[in-house]
Structure 1
Amino acid sequence: MSIAPATIPRFARGMRLREDPARSRWVVVGPERLFVPDDIALEILRLMDGARSVDAIVDDLAARFDAPREAIAADVLAMLDDLRAKGVVTA
């Protein structure tokens, strides 16, 4: 099952986004796992607040970065589907 535009994505149980002072980076941590998101992924992950849908996240990013909504939507959905497959994100 892939993530749809109306889906409200959340971090999976035990996963969270936090700043890691040792790495001077933001990381996604969970039980025996650690992911270091790139700058684009970090912008998306910061908007996952458990209330916003994928559509709302895409709208926010399109407005902030003055980029085509369709391109942003495709990238956001692909990233969230990948993270869902890895057990980082749930819908």
Structure 2
Amino acid sequence: MDGMEDRMSAMQYSFTLPSDYGMSIIRRRIEAKGHITDGFPQLVFEAFLHAGRDARRSHATENLYAPFYQWDRPEGMNRFLGSQGFTQ
């Protein structure tokens, strides 16, 4: 055993969206689909990060969406990447 089975893994990916993209679409998506990964084997933590260009971020040139996942073991992350939860 090489010890890889005992390591936690983190996964984060991001989408850069146009500055005029309606971030309410992203918030609705998080609300409607965020629960899909609840209880996924070996998933320890998930966060759906987003930042929209608005009055407080008027200097920003884009909107951002960046899911973040913390996995107990790499096998859980690998299973997730091949599942419908990831493709939805």
TM-score norm. by structure 2 comes to 0.30
**Of the two structures, which has the highest relative contact order with CA contacts closer than 8 Å and spacing of 6 or more?**
2
Q: Which has the larger radius of gyration?
A: 2
Kindly indicate which of the two structures has a greater share of residues assigned to helix.
1
